[in-house]
Structure 1
């Protein structure tokens, strides 16, 4: 069975800071790896071979002298000259044989010193030998099998090893860490400006006015912050103008409607039947105008404050019960979040009024939903269920449009205003099938 590896995209960091640092780190690591390879595979290899051949040549010279001058007197001066001129400590074990060397871990596993020395000894000495790198941390003990015994050669390890490697690796690691740290500090400052811009945009979308943000960071980020501030100003002006226009039109309409109502009331008795029908139309128009005025008054002026959502819902449910509705509420003891209390009362009140008009039973539920499983609450959910006829699924989105008309009647403003208020909070209103058999209105509000 083939093992499927996760796609590369899933292994990428999700945030801009992580991706930016990865973009910086990847070429840095590649560059350091190439430099290390060039040094390790080129310069270090050449130096190691030359040092190994130098020690092997000295050992080979000593072996050649001992072979040509085998008596004890000559051996003495050879040992003295080797110690003085070649920096080699020699000892001869007469009659011994070269036994197997006990296996040990490599003293310097990342360096080619042992292989280079073994190759050089085979080339320069030409006799059976072994090398002990582990017994003494400061020297290498080389044993060479001669015809009459075993020659022990102790060579200082510094003759085979250069500290340049440590300095080079330290330079590679140190410069890499320094460059990465500097890049991380600068990128963190740049990303902080972008994160603040995102937070300001999210807060503005949720109706939380935090004022103009201060442009900071790179030129492009400052330009984005300036454009965002200008956008906030334009949106505020547009909302204010729309609210004033809506309020003005609604207020102006009340005067002719009042005159029409008075005129209908003064109709003669034989026209009262027709007048009653017209009076109903006028009352319907007055309710529409009242809805406009109510929405216009609260849309742009009320500021969000920390409010108990459960208390608001319980109060609305109690009022509905006093009007004869059967309303059950299932909610936690308390759920506080930033709300425009009056606007939210209109939102939930409209949903309750719609349910009361078309159903006998109403159930309200409140729950806090985390963004990720096990995480902190991100959304507050309010569901209003009823057992009425509901709205067909294909027409549910249409029901949110102003003046949408269905067989159940109504002016079509209640759901439109409810969704507008929820979206001004940064949430939304959705329609679903209710467990009671009717319609469920789900209100989502950010915590």
Structure 2
């Protein structure tokens, strides 16, 4: 049962437009099937019987007239009346005998009704040939003195209302389906616009021109999205301003402390105080960098491969060994300065802990990957999410050569997530750590 359910779910449409049309089309098809069944079971059967009774009655009337007036002139006159008034081409063969060949069983409602009517109205041996001629049906009737062959036009047994009824049902159904498709497409378009706006905002792009439209429920969801967008922007702006203000205010007392330490001369504990001041200064710079990560830089179309080459080039000019491999050029809408900072943090961490770094830019079906590999000691699996927390450091010393403030990976992931992507840490095939930066297309 579970397998059947899964199979049915795979066959059903996944989009809102397809499912909405399915809801409309399914009752329509059921109504058509029921109407067709009722039509075939009642109307068509009734019409077929009446047409067959009329034809059998005409043949019976001709037979009785021929029997009542046996002279050749009267019989010829009767046959002319049948041809002109009844559309029956009748040929009488005196002394003719009905072929001793079993007749074919009736096929379809029309043939069955004709057989039944001939048995009731003619009451003589007969054969019906409905296959030999395209436009006529041959009815042979055995009389006492000969064989009567009656060529009947098929239109006398055919009712055009059958096809008219079917064509009318199909035509109106297609018209209703077309109208429903147009209306449903307009309704689905507003949902798609809302989804596109949410996706664009999730990638860090502003959507100032989006306006709620569509049904009242869709408008309600769109208004909720706009309120959420404004609330998030206010929160981001408040956090950025707060961090920038705090960091800026801390620089003044730090500068005074540095001047006072410089004027104190050689005193006991001066070196430790200078180290504390330097540590606080690095933390303030980290605050400012973290605040700038959510800055108001405008996204612009950017060649990601060229951006990576520029970041790698800066490290190479400082003497670092970095292997760079770019599969193909990719243009994305990015905040280039912010993303450059994120790449610098990832490559800088790899250079700090590894002797050699490999950087690769590659495309995947739904986005782009920038992979940074190193041959360093790596990070244990159970601590890979912890290192993204602000101020978390695996190396506990205050030595700037062996560890920073603890905001490098936090800033990198924060920037990448503001673009709709993410930063993941994995095992590198080179023995160290792999940092995978993923960006959506």
Query: Gaps (5+ residues) in structure 2?
Result: 396-401
Q: Deviations over 1:246-275 (max 9, x none)?
A: 10011111112222223333445241xx32
Give the aligned partner of residue 260 of structure 2: 263
* Residue number among 332, 335, 342 corresponding to 2:330 in the alignment: 335
SS in 2 for 1:7: helix
Maintained 8 Å contact 1:360/1:386: yes
Length, aligned pairs only: 431
2:55 counterpart of 1:58: no
2:37 counterpart of 1:42: no
2:188 counterpart of 1:191: yes
Q: Distance in 2 between matches of 1:145 and 1:260?
A: 131
SS in 1 for 2:260: helix
SS in 2 for 1:140: strand
Give the aligned partner of residue 198 of structure 2: 201
Maintained 8 Å contact 2:356/2:375: yes
Q: 1:279 to 1:6 in 2, by over 3 A?
A: same
Q: Deviations over 1:382-434 (max 9, x none)?
A: 00000111111111111111111213643220111000000111111000001
Give the aligned partner of residue 420 of structure 2: 426
Query: Gaps (5+ residues) in structure 1?
Result: 371-377
* Residue number among 232, 239, 245 corresponding to 1:235 in the alignment: 232
Q: Distance in 1 between matches of 2:149 and 2:219?
A: 75
**Alpha-carbon shift at residue 289 of structure 1 (Å):** 1.3
Give the aligned partner of residue 398 of structure 2: none
Give the aligned partner of residue 169 of structure 1: 166
* Residue number among 178, 181, 185 corresponding to 1:181 in the alignment: 178
Give the aligned partner of residue 367 of structure 2: 379
Q: Distance in 1 between matches of 2:109 and 2:144?
A: 31
* Residue number among 401, 409, 421 corresponding to 1:415 in the alignment: 409
Q: How does 1:149-160 map to 2 (within 5 A)?
A: 149-160=146-157
**Alpha-carbon shift at residue 87 of structure 1 (Å):** 3.8
Maintained 8 Å contact 2:98/2:140: no
**Alpha-carbon shift at residue 187 of structure 1 (Å):** 0.6
**Alpha-carbon shift at residue 58 of structure 1 (Å):** 2.4
Q: Distance in 1 between matches of 2:260 and 2:210?
A: 56
SS in 2 for 1:112: helix
2:99 counterpart of 1:98: yes
SS in 1 for 2:190: helix
* Residue number among 434, 439, 442 corresponding to 2:433 in the alignment: 439
Q: Distance in 2 between matches of 1:226 and 1:414?
A: 36
TM-score (norm. length: structure 1) = 0.89
Q: Distance in 1 between matches of 2:45 and 2:390?
A: 82
**Alpha-carbon shift at residue 136 of structure 1 (Å):** 4.0
2:31 counterpart of 1:31: yes
2:308 counterpart of 1:313: yes
**Alpha-carbon shift at residue 333 of structure 1 (Å):** 5.0
Give the aligned partner of residue 401 of structure 1: 389
**Alpha-carbon shift at residue 43 of structure 1 (Å):** 1.0
TM-score (norm. length: structure 2) = 0.90
Q: Distance in 2 between matches of 1:25 and 1:250?
A: 63
**Alpha-carbon shift at residue 122 of structure 1 (Å):** 3.4
Q: 1:256 to 1:114 in 2, by over 3 A?
A: same
Q: How does 1:324-363 map to 2 (within 5 A)?
A: 324-332=319-327, 334-363=329-358
Give the aligned partner of residue 375 of structure 1: none
Give the aligned partner of residue 129 of structure 1: 127
Q: Distance in 2 between matches of 1:155 and 1:45?
A: 20
Moved more, 408-417 or 30-39: 408-417
Q: Deviations over 1:67-93 (max 9, x none)?
A: 666664553344244345544221023
Q: Distance in 2 between matches of 1:247 and 1:258?
A: 17
Q: Distance in 2 between matches of 1:92 and 1:420?
A: 101
Give the aligned partner of residue 245 of structure 2: 248
Q: Distance in 2 between matches of 1:307 and 1:136?
A: 73
Maintained 8 Å contact 2:293/2:415: no
